[in-house]
Amino acid sequence: MNDDLSIARQVTPRPINDIAARLGIQGEALLPYGRDKAKVDVASITAGIPGRLILVTAISPTPAGEGKTTTTVGLADGLNVIGKRAMACLREPSLGPCFGVKGGATGGGHAQVIPMEAINLHFTGDFHAIGAAHNLLAAMLDNHLYWGNALGIDPERVQLRRVVDMNDRALRNIAVGLGGRTNGVTREAGFDITVASEVMACLCLAADAQDLKQRLGRIVVAARRDGSLVTADDLGAAGAMAALLKEAIEPNLVQTLEGTPVFIHGGPFANIAHGCNSVIATRTALGLTDYVVTEAGFGADLGAEKFLSIKCNSAGLAPAAAVIVATARALKMHGGVAKADLGTENVAAVEKGASNLRRHVENVRNFGVPAVVAINSFTADTPAEHAAIAAAVADLGVEVVICNHWADGGKGAAELAEKVVALAEVGPATINPLYPADAPLLAKIEAVATKIYRADGIAPAKGVAKQLADWEARGFGHLPVCMAKSPASFTGDPADIGAPVDFTLPIREVRLSAGAGFVVALAGEVMTMPGLPRTPAAESIDMVGGSIEGLF
């Protein structure tokens, strides 16, 4: 069986001008990066009547893989197969997981986005621009401290960290300004991965360039000794940061193996950020075609919740339908089966692990979004296992569709496409909010923990409640909350698989993202700077005879 990279290389990409023409994008609106990818100047596009938005989410991820991106691509292709005008909107891959353990993020098999190598590596340079803008702000902050600190910043209350788009645990905690006074003020600092940057979140939630500049200016970088906040605007940094993002704010246009148009733009992780592609790309796509298929990172407890509570709430969007992706393999892992034993039929484990799927279905339905379950089929699956999945959610009022898009591309997702159309054409969904906007911030965190994760309650660390109350007093109480926790479990412990109950969610820290427009609550031991595994994927990636090998 060919690997994903080999399959991708068997297809010659169509000229990007042809893909753009399918969407009515022509002339100066298209900014090509070579012949198979381009930026799109959204200001030069005349949008039509908005299409229907379809959200793809999934069960809690496992090492077995669920194939959410693959299903998103397959569904977009499948909608075109059944005669609908459709495209996909995805996030850009981070170099961290690409060289770490997860691999790339362009789909798999015959449901992929191309050019695979370019998208998974440097692409059009958006992440580099975001990292540069973020680190410019950090440099200007330390420069301000060095030249007299006219703003009265307390060096011990600097909250801005630097970023790099790579898994590097050695940079989690560092000291800057070492080596004498000419090197700046000595203080403790650290790095986050670029996808956790507030600059990334600002770009992905901005309505346009002006809104982006305003959001950048609101980023809180530090506090004074009296507790008052210092922003990027106070440092005079927002204009230069926006200049660095002039091209990065424009969506990137590529295509699937079957020539379906795809916008790939922005890339915040869902476990440590809000996990959705850009509002600009999504809104633009909705004005260009009849169906837009997008995904939200990790399981529905993280990605879908943030998509609905943060992105949709901020941008005035609402999905017409949702697809919840599951695999028999992953449900067997949630049922306690080791990865090495997943090739053997185990209906009992599927039934046990399906408790995880049920909870995700319930959560999506409770938001008021009609949903269908897509079984991303593997060759080792058995009819009995598929039947067990359908039986496990039968009483929840959702249909279950077996999909073969990995092997058959759009044709393998045609039945799923028909089901999605049937749900979506009933009418747009009305999102039921998880909590009122005027609820206290701590109550919002507790609402996510109890209503989505099914915790008995939360256990805030010392100082968390006081910090939240202080932000409320400063006018930030209306903001939604963005949970940062392990994606592998509903709890803060990734070992708690399935659908755990009778637990308390620890909240160890909160961070204000005033520019992005949310408050981050860190639960458990989640890291904003991941580390590489014992054997990183980078060891298998190579340049051979001018070709990149080993990407997956």
Give the active site residues.
Answer: 68, 70, 91, 102, 270, 298, 378, 406
Which has the closest alpha carbon to 57: 260, 308, 391?
308
Tell me the C-alpha distance between 282 and 433, whole Å. Answer: 21
Tell me the C-alpha distance between 283 and 289, whole Å. Answer: 11
* DSSP codes joined into one string, 21-62: HHTT--GGGEEESSSS-EEE-GGG----S--EEEEEEES---
Query: Between the CA of residue 273 and those of 98, 146, 297, 389, what are the distances in Å?
Result: 18, 31, 10, 31
Which has the closest alpha carbon to 284: 207, 210, 195, 216?
207
How would you class 214 by CB atoms within 10 Å of its CB: exposed for 0-12, middle for 13-18, buried for 19 or more? Answer: middle
Residue type, 237: A
Who contacts 316 (Cβ-Cβ below 8 Å, separation ≥6)? none
Cβ neighbours of 210 (radius 10 Å)? 10
Residue 479: its H or E element: none
Query: What are the E-state strand segments in 404-499?
Result: 457-460, 481-484
Distance, C-alpha 45 to centroid of its chain: 26
Assign residue 386 a region (left: φ > 0; alpha: ψ between -120 and 50; beta: otherwise).
alpha
Which has the closest alpha carbon to 396: 324, 454, 313, 338?
324
Q: Which residue has the tokens 């299409």?
A: 51
Q: Which residue has the tokens 């089901």?
A: 419
